[in-house]
């Protein structure tokens, strides 16, 4: 989700004459796209802001902005704690970001010349002698702020009339330079589930569904720009539905709609009909109307409310990937209840078994792969609860699973009502134990593919290759997904912090085109398995990246399959 937000923001800023720069030290504008899901992600931002505080004493004209969930959650308290921040913009207000930045840049320019502000002395090596001053305090008191506050849970009609985020999605800039064959498309925003540990319903607001025509048009534009693979995004992506009879247009633009709550347990969307586009309808629609998209995926599925109609559509449409990311979070019914997940372990496996019955067909080369998320150390989790979770991970046969230690998040129900009573060392031990189990399961799932030839989408150089090249050149490379902009004299650095576990493993920027035979590339199967292979002699990385090629799988390790490019799939 955050990755897509970063793309939309940078696209917007580019059209205004800004350009990306990888150099945070010398950028004119530094933006942090933040995540609040776990405390660790926030800590990183605080530490970067601390560095900016010092840097800004030397380059006072730099504009520093915090966007995304942390901005929404901490609000102006964030500026009180870190006065270095000039711009604060929640995920629901990103369309206002260019105006906020513009404002902040102009304010800085009018307040400052080229000299450091009065009261700030630099030594002969440019280090700060006097850290603070009245002048600095004056400069930091004029922050630009756009936060959603509690407006995001207004009635459907009111919110629809005011939905400017849709315009941001609609104005997305699409070009072959920006998308190396793969792209995200948002279909729903926000979440209505209120799992007791989670900040998302508070930071991203109510579940809202985009009009299907807008989604299909965005996919078509991406396909026209050469995109082969699209991942549809939503926190509970299978809840997607759009009721045409209730749609509202503003200025000729059909507006997104608030999601209605599901009753749960149904196998088909009971409200489906001619005037409703269900999630199953949407998948079929994109598949039929945008044949240029060779792979259509979606994340993240909620294990409840997943109808047979969706499974049938996946089964019957060859370009829809047989891949589900469907987090269980725990293997204990008691903990699931405390998490307010709304399903039992028995219901979770009923869904997994049903999905596999529909979609797991390795004999025709169409297996189903499944990924999960687990939280260990949720309040009151006992050894028995944990054993139940370990049993779930064994039985679910995930191709991979994101395992998180519970992180108490202020503002959530669990934070307010449940003591964080599992000691850190126990959380850590459970985390490692589960990782070891999952590594074994992943290797076993991967082993089933050895000897087969799979079509893989080539993403870029592998991490190993990137490190090797970095070592050889002595360069620093791009750390932690930070990218940046420079044009028209203004450079913007946007540092990404991943929101979903999906995003945190998407990874290597496409390789520079000069990597030839022998260099290791990373790719994904339609079931989202990572496949590493070497560029064959006589070919270059540039011609392979962003394309789909057949690779014969030779061995399976816990985190990836290894293979060789073959002349044709078999
Ligand atoms: N909407 C998705 C779902 O319900 O499956 C998940 C979205 S959440 C942004 C991504 C993952 O972060 C969750 O599946 C959960 O495992 C993890 N997570 C969320 N809040 C957490 C917390 N307070 N502590 C630890 N992990 C957390
Ligand atoms: Fe929503 Fe997922 Fe968070 Fe639950 S974990 S509140 S479903 S985003």
Rounded Cα–Cα distance for residues 91 and 57 (Å):
29
How confident is the model at residue 504, as a pLDDT? 24
Query: What tokens appear for 514 in the block?
Result: 């000069």
How confident is the model at residue 496, as a pLDDT? 46
Task: Specify whether the CB–CB gap between 493 and 24 falls below 8 A.
Answer: yes
**Which positions ≥6 away from 78 have C-beta within 8 Å?**
66, 70, 71, 85, 88
CA of 374 to the centre of ligand 1 (A): 8
pLDDT tens digits, one per residue of 538-548: 888 888 998 99
Rounded Cα–Cα distance for residues 410 and 416 (Å):
7
Rounded Cα–Cα distance for residues 94 and 90 (Å):
7
CA of 435 to the centre of ligand 1 (A): 17
Rounded Cα–Cα distance for residues 59 and 194 (Å):
43
pLDDT tens digits, one per residue of 178-197: 777 899 999 999 999 999 99
DSSP class per residue in 159-199 = HHHT--HHHHHHT----TTT-SSEEEEE-EES-S---TT--
pLDDT tens digits, one per residue of 354-366: 999 999 998 888 9
How confident is the model at residue 505, as a pLDDT? 23
Band (477; pLDDT cuts 50, 70, 90): very low
Closest CA to 523 of 481, 558, 562: 562
The angle formed by the CA atoms of residues 98, 191 and 166, to the nearest 5 degrees, is: 35
Closest CA to 19 of 482, 485, 484: 485
How confident is the model at residue 512, as a pLDDT? 46
Determine what percent of the chain falls in helix, strand and coil, rounding each to the nearest 5. 40, 20, 40
Please tell me the pTM assigned to this model: 0.83
Rounded Cα–Cα distance for residues 397 and 326 (Å):
12
Q: Which ligand is nearest to the CA of 303?
A: 1
* Closest approach atom of ligand 1 to CA 193: 4
**Which positions ≥6 away from 246 have C-beta within 8 Å?**
156, 257
DSSP class per residue in 267-283 = SS-TT-BTTEEEHHHHH
CA of 69 to the centre of ligand 1 (A): 14
pLDDT at 509 over 60: no
**Residues contacting ligand 1 via CB (< 6 Å):** 37-38, 197-198, 200, 235-236, 300, 302, 327, 329, 373, 375, 404, 406-407, 409, 499-501
CA of 368 to the centre of ligand 2 (A): 24
């Amino acid at each position: 989700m955050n990755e897509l937000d970063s793309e939309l923001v940078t696209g917007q800023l580019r059209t205004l004459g800004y350009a990306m720069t990888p150099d945070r030290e010398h950028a004119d504008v530094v933006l942090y796209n933040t995540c609040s899901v776990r405390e660790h992600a926030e800590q990183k931002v605080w530490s970067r802001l601390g560095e900016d505080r010092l840097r800004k004493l030397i380059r006072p004209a730099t504009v520093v902005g915090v966007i995304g969930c942390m901005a929404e959650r901490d609000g102006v308290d964030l500026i009180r704690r870190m006065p270095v921040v000039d711009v604060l913009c929640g995920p629901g207000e990103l369309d206002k970001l260019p105006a906020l930045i513009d404002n902040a840049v102009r304010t800085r320019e009018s307040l400052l010349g080229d000299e450091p502000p009065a009261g700030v002395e630099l030594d002969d090596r440019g280090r700060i002698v006097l850290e603070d001053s009245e002048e600095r305090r004056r400069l930091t008191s004029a922050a630009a702020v756009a936060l959603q506050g509690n407006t995001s849970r207004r009635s459907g009609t009111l919110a629809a009339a005011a939905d400017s985020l849709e315009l941001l999605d609609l104005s997305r800039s699409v070009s072959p330079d920006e998308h190396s064959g793969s792209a995200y498309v948002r279909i729903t925003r926000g979440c209505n589930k209120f799992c007791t540990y989670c900040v998302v319903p508070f930071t991203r607001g109510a579940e809202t569904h985009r009009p299907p025509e807008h989604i299909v048009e965005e996919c078509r534009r991406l396909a026209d720009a050469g995109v082969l693979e699209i991942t549809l995004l939503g926190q509970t992506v299978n809840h997607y539905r759009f009721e045409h009879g209730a749609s509202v247009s503003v200025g000729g633009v059909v507006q997104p709609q608030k999601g209605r709550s599901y009753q749960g347990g149904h196998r088909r969307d009971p409200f489906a009909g001619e005037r409703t586009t269900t999630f199953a309808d949407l998948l079929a629609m994109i598949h039929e109307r945008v044949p240029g998209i060779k792979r259509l995926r979606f994340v993240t599925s909620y294990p409840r409310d997943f109808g047979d109609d969706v499974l049938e559509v996946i089964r019957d449409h060859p370009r829809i990937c047989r891949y589900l990311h469907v987090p269980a979070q725990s293997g204990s019914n008691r903990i699931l209840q405390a998490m307010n997940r709304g399903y039992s372990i028995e219901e979770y496996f009923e869904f997994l078994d049903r999905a596999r019955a529909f979609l797991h067909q390795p004999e025709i080369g169409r297996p189903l792969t499944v990924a999960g998320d687990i939280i260990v150390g949720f309040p009151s989790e006992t050894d028995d609860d944990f054993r139940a979770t370990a049993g779930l991970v064994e039985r679910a046969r995930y191709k991979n699973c994101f395992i998180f230690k519970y992180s108490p998040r202020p503002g959530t129900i669990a934070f307010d009502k449940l003591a964080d009573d599992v000691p850190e060392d126990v959380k850590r031990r459970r985390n490692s134990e589960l990782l070891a189990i999952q590594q074994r399961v992943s290797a076993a799932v991967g082993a089933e593919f050895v000897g087969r030839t799979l079509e893989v989408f080539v993403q870029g150089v592998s991490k190993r290759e990137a490190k090797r090249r970095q070592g050889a050149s002595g360069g620093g490379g791009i750390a932690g997904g930070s990218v940046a902009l420079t044009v028209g004299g203004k450079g913007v650095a946007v540092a990404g912090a991943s929101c979903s576990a999906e995003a945190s493993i998407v990874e290597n920027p496409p390789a520079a085109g000069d990597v030839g035979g022998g260099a290791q590339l990373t790719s994904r199967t339609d079931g989202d398995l990572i496949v590493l292979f070497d560029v064959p002699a006589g070919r270059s990385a540039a011609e392979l990246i962003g394309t789909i090629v057949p690779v014969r799988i030779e061995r399976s390790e816990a985190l990836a399959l290894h293979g060789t490019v073959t002349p044709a799939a078999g």
